[in-house]
Chain A
Amino acid sequence: MDLDTLLSFKWSVMAPEFIILGVATLLSVIDLFMKKESSRTPLAWLAGAGVIGALAAIFMQLDTEVTSILFDTYRLDSFSKAFKILLLLGTLLVLVLASNDKKEDVEENRGEFYYLLLAALLGAMMMASSADLITLFVGLELLSLSSYIMAGLERQNKRSNESAFKYVVSGGIATAITLFGMSYVFGLTGETNLFLIAQTMQDPELLKHSFLLMFAFLITFAGLTFKIAAAPLHMWAPDVYEGAPVPVTAFLSVVSKTAGFVILLRFIIITFIAAPGIDSESLLLEVQPYVMALAAATMIIGNVTALRQRNIKRMFAYSSIAQAGYILVPFVSNSSLLFELIWFYLLAYLFMNIGAFTIIQVLSVQEKSNDISIFRGLFKRSPWLAVPMTFFLLSLAGIPITAGFVGKFGIFMGALGLEPAHYWLAAVMMATTLVSYVYYFNVIAVMFFRDSERTRVSVPRGMAAVLAFCAVSTILLGIMPDLALDFFYGNFDINEFFMNIEAVDTHTHDH
């Protein structure tokens, strides 16, 4: 590849990524020259400005047609734009949450968090734009490695250390499984470009190996369930969520999970959409029962185990597992509304979960505990915390007039609207939702129906802003879901996702 080719690429496509990369580099340099004692909050503001800049860049790209650079390894299409907005928005809220997290210990007062967070974000954004197994994997690893360190940032805290260690080990296993599966895909097709893989899948020659292909699918799928915290690779979540600092937990449960769904959609849908099954035309249809079983198991394990948790962070970990199960439903049932359903649910989930974690952070810092009793009598003590928390819990439970209801309603409609309808999957979803009412309402009951001698809670200004934003969005999207859906339909054409531009030409030239 010579300089001319390099310069001929439309690098503006990567503008948001460049902004994040630049700011992250800048932050690490500035951090180097800062005094040990001085506050690292300015770094947070700078990082926030970078994220806002990247968001602005994406909004300017909204009208851009599908473009791909670097020999179609990197593409800008509706899918990548739509999900990058989610990733950036989530990171922005986590940044505000973190910047208000005052550390008493100087040793803990470090700037690494901010540029690690941006590095992780960069990885996630790369995944959203990748059209090649290699870049996809590099993005995934960039996200994972940064997250491992972030989980262990509270070095004095044993739990944080343990959490990071568990995360690294489980993550390593997951990566090994994913790569193993991907290697089969590569071995069978001889390509790394997703679209070329998809083309090769239609090769009649491949029919002989359709069983191996199914194995490849299941192994890769299982490996990828790690990032979204779904069965069978969900068990790390409660331990890691419990031990990691709250902003990191919020990041893992929202941004990292979104990235997990991004790679799942990108990789699985594009490459396997036309793959042949063993007995039938379609592999995706044939594996459906198994993947559905996994989704059902995720919903059941998450919701049922959450019932017994006294530790609020663990409870939310299981809740987040359960939520991953719900989002898997449109994915496994191949609903025609797949993209908008997942996008909308993730958006709703972003607001309700980050909002809830903000309150958990405020309370657990003040009470120095993670037990559910920190919520006692919150309505009397600090109604301005109790009311938003109620919104978030109602939304997580899927009660009307909240974004969570619309999201769940859409998923449910999608599952029953297909031919044949997935009755039992929908039934599992409804039944487990019912179970979830018990633990979500338990928190509400503790807030409203308990008295407490504890004092009022003071909320730092930045967190109050995050809370207000999340609460208003949760309700607004519940009352007027069109705000988000119109934006989605108006700006994104999901057909672009499948549009294979220039892949064939450039690639063959290159060979």
Chain B
Amino acid sequence: MLQMSWLIPLFPLLSFILLLLFRKSKSESTAWIGVLLTGISLVMSIGVFLAVWQGEGIKTEGTWFQMGERAITMGFEVNPLNALMLVIVSLVSFLVHLYSKGYMHGDDRFPVFFAYLGLFSFAMLGLVLSPNLLQLYMFWELVGLGSFLLIGFYYFKPEAKAAAKKAFVMTRIGDVGLFIGMVLLFWQVGSFEYDEIFASVKNGDLSSGMLTLTALCIFVGAVGKSGQLPLHTWLPDAMEGPTPVSALIHAATMVAAGVYLVAAMYPLFQASEAALTVVAVVGGLTAIFAASIGLMQKDIKRVLAYSTVSQLGYMMLALGASGYVAGIFHLTTHAFFKALLFLAAGSVIHAVHTQNIEEMGGLWKKLRITGPLFLIGALAISGVPLLSGFFSKDEILASTYADGKYGLFWLAVIAAFMTAFYMFRLFFIVFTGEARGETEKGVHESPGVMTFPMIVLGVLAVVAGYLNTTWFGTFLSDYLAQGAVELPHGDHHGPAWIPLVATLAAALGIALAYLIYQRGTLSRDWITRSLPSLSDVIYNKWYIDEGYDQTVVKGTRGLSKLGVLFDRYIVDGLVTAVTTGVQRLGRVGSRVQNGQVQSYGTAAIFGIVILLLIVALTGGYFS
């Protein structure tokens, strides 16, 4: 089984190629190609996972190319961490394929959508199977490309086009960090292989400064992909893509790739206390910051998007606080309940044709399957006991506390309160109360092809938590302990009051949302009224986008303008004195030309003269 695991990514690739060939087809049964092929990947992934569960593993490699004396290798590897990822990715991809069959019904470019889904799934599965950083990096970029195509799928919307470009360029900023970190490691260690890098780290071949530098460079890559502060702004905009895409890419897989990267490189991070602290602080701040923005958004998908950013922050916080298992655990449970929430949101949008929650209401009675499933997702993410999110979030809080990061611990608790509040704000506005506007007429439940994937995810959102509990069994941490990472501190079983505090925070959030949005005991705008300036800042997403516009975007534009101006005017201006002199003397040539060639020539000479002057001054000729 394990020898065949390299086939897993190839089925979605095949689906991509086949569907591109059938892209003109009007038949919607083309979707079954994608569903079937990702289904095969899913079955194989589960097989691989079961084999790894029994303690197996594999790594196969061959030389890719030789540059000078260095051989660059390629291959695949299966270990506990990536076997788990394989299952998550192929499962969510399979369910999303199925769901899209119903959701994308009637779209002109139906087969193209499934083709792009295939390309993305291929890249994501390839990323997970990579045994070295270079190969990971290559798939990492391909994943970005797939996401670019999918976010921009509704290209007739200018916002979608802009969002696709923004997502691509923003995450690339992170990739620069990853690339630099990767190449630096190569020259320190002489290899891109994970295990060789870890061996060198263990031997102490790298100076502590270099350890921190490379770890942070790699973390920058993770920050970009996982939408952490300050590179998070692309993720909410990416919601312009079709909703199944949001569920697949922006909830369960691609954005989790950043967390996966840190986890895959964990021994490197463990070697640098400073790097771990940075990871924890960035994660913790992202968690609370994004949660605060989620409080006031009016677009159902944007609330979920900020919630994703915030939950990814939790995972980073866990990893930074030596809670390796907690981070992976939350990644797993989050993949299920967040994909569920997105699909349920998609089902709602499918029914009411709007994303603005203020135009929704009273949908509970009309959407008899979606409603309860959304509630399950909301309960799970809020950390209500006995559901999956409760266990994983509790573990994160416990590791943060055990690691002595008390400040971050309390931040995380407050963020948990906010999470419960915004999720139930969403729930009460959308599903209870009176029907508003559009929702009056023609609302109907989604077809079975859409509800089935949601039911599967709903079940998982409830039970996935029992993978790792103190009283039921620590299956996940035993399983991950087979991997390359030496688990820190063992299990974190902090004081017994931590689950109580977490539950209390969740309950408070839900209760407050209930009082405001269901009972109406508290006026909806009492916060806005009591703290107008703060809520203004939050509503405008802390003005981060505006900040980037004012600084980076304007700066680059300015630089670019400067380049043009430099070419056109400054050079001209500098040399006009000379050229006009020449022109006046000769009065020739100017009829054919506009005087620019002369300026080019003069600029070149000036350039060289200046260069020589600098050399003369700095080169010590006069000293």
Q: Is the CB of A438 within 8 A of B169?
A: yes
Evaluate contact between B560 and A305: CB separation under 8 angstroms: yes
User: B179 an interface residue at 8 Å Cβ cutoff?
Assistant: yes
The answer to whether A400 and B142 touch across the interface, beta carbons within 8 angstroms, is yes
User: Does B563 belong to the interface (CB within 8 Å)?
Assistant: yes
The answer to whether B604 touches A233, judged by C-beta atoms less than 8 angstroms apart, is: yes
A23 to B381, CA, bound (A): 76
Residues of B within 8 A of A504 (CB): none
Q: Are A239 and B560 in contact (CB under 8 A)?
A: no
Q: Let me know if B500 is at the binding interface, CB within 8 A.
A: no
Per-residue CB contact flags for chain B residues 1-24 toward chain A (1 = under 8 Å, else 0) read 000000000000000000000010
B199 at the interface (CB under 8 A from A): no
Is A232 within 8 A of B604, CB to CB?
yes
B496 within 8 A of partner (CB): no
Are A177 and B604 within 8 A (Cβ)?
yes
Least Cβ distance of B175 to chain A in Å? 8
**In the bound complex, CA of A36 to CA of B561 (Å):** 48
Chain B hits for A413, CB < 8 A: 67, 70, 183, 186-187
Contact (Cβ within 8 A) B169 A437? yes
- Contact string, A2-20, partner B, CB cutoff 8 A, digits 1/0? 0000000000000000000
B417 interfacial by beta-carbon distance below 8 Å = no
Contacts of B366 in A (CB 8 A): none
Q: Mark B54-72, 1 if CB is under 8 A from A, else 0.
A: 0000000001111110100
> Of B64, B165, B172, B604, which contacts A445 at CB under 8 A?
B165
Interface size bracket, A side: 35 or more
CB < 8 Å neighbour of B138 from A211, A400, A489: A400
**In the complex, what residue of chain A is closest to B599 when comparing beta carbons?**
A235
Query: With a CB–CB cut-off of 8 A, which chain A residues contact B141?
Result: 399-400
CB distance from A409 to the nearest CB of B (A): 8
A162 contacts which of B179, B560, B564, B593 (Cβ < 8 Å)? B593
Question: For the complex, what is the distance from the CA of A406 to the CA of B134, rounded to whole Å?
Answer: 11
Given known contacts A169-B597, A177-B604, A305-B563, is B68 in contact with A406 (CB within 8 Å)? no
**Docked-complex contact B597 and A170, CB < 8 angstroms:** yes
Report the Cα distance A308→B568, complex, angstroms. Answer: 13
Q: Does A159 contact B (CB under 8 A)?
A: no
Within 8 A of A (CB), among B424-450: none
A304 and B560 contacting across the interface, CB-CB below 8 Å: yes
Q: Contact: A340 with B68, CB < 8 Å? A: yes
Partner of A222, one of B138, B186, B608: B608
Q: Mark B247-273, 1 if CB is under 8 A from A, else 0.
A: 000000000000000000000000000
Minimum Cβ distance to chain B for residue A151 (Å):
13
In the complex, are the beta carbons of B179 and A412 less than 8 A apart?
yes
Which A-chain residue is minimally distant from B145 (CB atoms)?
A399
Which chain A residue shows the least CB distance to B564? A308
Do residues A218 and B612 form an inter-chain contact, with CB atoms below 8 A? yes
How far is A438 from B552 in the complex, measured between Cα atoms in Å?
A: 14
Q: Given A173-B601, A400-B142, A410-B67, verify A434-B619 contact (CB < 8 Å).
A: no
Question: A-facing mask of B149-186, CB < 8 A → 1, else 0?
Answer: 10010011000110011001100110010011001101
A 225-245 to B, binary, CB cutoff 8 A, 1 in contact else 0 = 000000111011011000000
Q: Is B592 at the interface (CB under 8 A from chain A)?
A: yes
B184 lies within 8 A of A416 (CB)? yes
Number of B interface residues in the complex (CB < 8 A): 65
Chain B residues within 8 Å of A383, by CB: 23
Task: Provide the bound-state CA to CA distance between A124 and B70, in Å.
Answer: 32
| A340 and B600 within 8 A (CB) | no
Which A residues lie within 8 Å of B620 (CB)? 278-279
B148: chain A residues within 8 A (beta carbon): 441
Q: How far is the CB of A142 from chain B (nearest CB, A)?
A: 22
In the complex, B567 has a CB within 8 A of chain A: yes
**Cβ of A482 and Cβ of B600 under 8 Å apart?**
no
Is A157 interfacial (CB 8 A cutoff)?
no
In angstroms, Cα B156 to Cα A111, docked, is 47
The answer to whether A308 and B563 touch across the interface, beta carbons within 8 angstroms, is yes
Chain B proximity of A310: nearest CB distance (Å): 12
Give complex CA distance A367, B37 in Å: 41
| A469 interface residue per 8 A CB criterion | no
User: Is A337 at the interface (CB under 8 A from chain B)?
Assistant: yes
Q: Is the CB of B68 within 8 A of A336?
A: yes
A222 near B611 (CB under 8 angstroms)?
Answer: yes
Query: Does any Cβ of A come within 8 Å of B570's Cβ?
Result: no
Structural contact, B611 and A434, CB atoms closer than 8 A:
no
* Interface pair B145/A214, CB less than 8 Å apart: no
Identity of the chain A residue whose Cβ is nearest the Cβ of B594 in the assembled complex: A162
B187 touching A448, Cβ below 8 Å: no
**Contact A166-B68, Cβ < 8 Å, known A416-B184, A437-B172, A441-B168:** no
User: How far apart are the CA atoms of A294 and B183 in the complex, in Å?
Assistant: 24
In the bound complex, residues from chain B placing their C-beta under 8 Å from that of A304 are 556, 559-560, 562-563
Say yes or no: is A486 at the interface (Cβ < 8 Å to chain B): yes
Within 8 A of B (CB), among A148-204: 162, 165-166, 169-170, 173-174, 177
Interchain CB contact under 8 A, A421 and B68: no
Query: A85 at the A/B interface (Cβ < 8 Å)?
Result: no
By the criterion CB–CB under 8 Å, are A434 and B169 in contact? yes
Interface string of B37-80 (1 = CB under 8 A from A): 00000000000000000000000000111111010000000000
A290, CB-defined interface residue at 8 Å: yes
Across the two chains, which residue of chain B brings its CB closest to A294? B611
* Closest B residue by C-beta to A417: B187
Q: Nearest chain A CB to B310's CB is how many angstroms away?
A: 27
Contacts of A169 in B (CB 8 A): 597-598, 600-601
Are B611 and A400 interface neighbours, CB within 8 A? no
**B571 neighbours in A (Cβ, 8 Å):** 235
Q: Quick check: A239 and B596 within 8 Å, CB to CB?
A: yes
User: A211-B621, A308-B563 in contact; A173/B605 too (CB < 8 A)?
Assistant: yes
* Distance between Cα atoms of A173 and B571 in the complex (Å): 17
Q: Which one, B160, B176, B557, B605, contacts A431 given CB within 8 A? A: B176
Question: What residues of chain B lie closer than 8 Å to A108, measured between beta carbons?
Answer: none
Chain A residues near B547 (CB-CB < 8 A): none
Inter-chain contact A170/B615, CB cutoff 8 Å: no
- Closest A residue to B154 by beta carbon equals A449
Alpha-carbon distance between A468 and B70 when the two chains are bound, in angstroms: 32
Residue of A nearest to B563 (CB): A305
Q: Which residues of chain B come closer than 8 Å to A394, judged between CB atoms?
A: 145
Residues of A within 8 A of B604 (CB): 170, 173-174, 177, 222, 232-233, 235
CB distance from A506 to the nearest CB of B (A): 34
B65 touches A449 (CB 8 A): no
Flag A294-330 by CB within 8 Å of B: 1 or 0 each. 1000000100110110000000000000000000000
Complex-state Cα separation, A413 to B67, whole angstroms = 10
Pair A218/B615 contact, Cβ less than 8 Å: yes
Chain B residues lying within 8 Å of A406, measured Cβ to Cβ, are: 65
B542 on the interface (CB 8 Å rule)?
no
CA–CA, A427 to B220, complex, Å?
15
Task: Verify A401–B567 contact, CB threshold 8 A.
Answer: no
User: Does B600 lie within 8 Å of A235, measured CB to CB?
Assistant: yes
Chain B residues with CB under 8 A of A451: 155-156
Q: Are B64 and A307 closer than 8 Å at their CB atoms?
A: no
The distance from the CB of B271 to the nearest CB of chain A, in whole angstroms, is 21
CA distance A166 to B601 in the complex (A): 10
Q: Does A215 contact B (CB under 8 A)?
A: yes
Complex: A369 Cα to B350 Cα, angstroms? 43
A430 to B608, CA, bound (A): 27
A480 near B: Cβ within 8 Å? yes
Contact among A399, A437, A445 for B152, CB-based, below 8 A: A445
CB pair A435 B556 closer than 8 Å:
yes
Report Cα–Cα, A406/B598, bound state, in Å: 40
Q: Which residues of B contact A (CB under 8 A)?
A: 23, 63-68, 70, 134, 137-139, 141-142, 145, 148-149, 152, 155-156, 160-161, 164-165, 168-169, 172-173, 176, 179-180, 183-184, 186-187, 556-557, 559-564, 566-567, 571, 592-593, 596-598, 600-601, 603-605, 607-608, 611-612, 614-615, 619-621
**Can you give 13 A-B contacts (C-beta < 8 A)?**
A162-B593, A169-B601, A174-B604, A177-B608, A301-B566, A305-B563, A412-B179, A416-B183, A430-B179, A431-B176, A434-B176, A445-B165, A450-B155
Query: Ordered nearest first, which 3 A-B pairs have the shortest CB separation?
Result: A232-B607, A449-B155, A400-B138
